[in-house]
A = this chain, B = another copy of it.
Amino acid sequence: MPIIEMHMLEGRTTEQKNRVAAAVTEAVIASLGVRPESVRILITEHHADEFYVAGIPPKKRAEAPPLANGAQEHTA
């Protein structure tokens, strides 16, 4: 422990995955005071048609009108 499962949209490079895994591991070690060896991360990538918010896949959401605050949404 801790064992961490990360679900994200597919399309990241190996480099990006390496980077986020290293950063999350660092965050867990610093916050919980555990041994680096005890932190294990599993990434599962999901296709665009395997993730839904409010029953709608992200692709269709991207075509919806922009958010009230003007921010661009990145749900990947």
Q: How many residues of A sit at the interface, in one of the four size bands?
A: 35 or more
Contact call B42/A3, Cβ cutoff below 8 A: yes
Contact A37–B23 (Cβ < 8 Å): no
Interface of A is mostly: mixed
Establish whether residues A20 and B31, one from each chain, have CB atoms under 8 Å apart when the complex forms.
yes
* A35→B53 CA distance, assembly (Å): 11
Q: Which residues of B contact A1 (CB under 8 A)?
A: 7-9, 46, 51, 58, 75-76
A residues within 8 Å of B by Cβ? 1-9, 12, 14, 16-28, 30-46, 49-58, 68-69, 71, 73-76
Which 7 pairs show the lowest CB-CB distances between chains A and B?
A25-B55, A23-B27, A36-B54, A20-B31, A43-B50, A21-B52, A41-B52
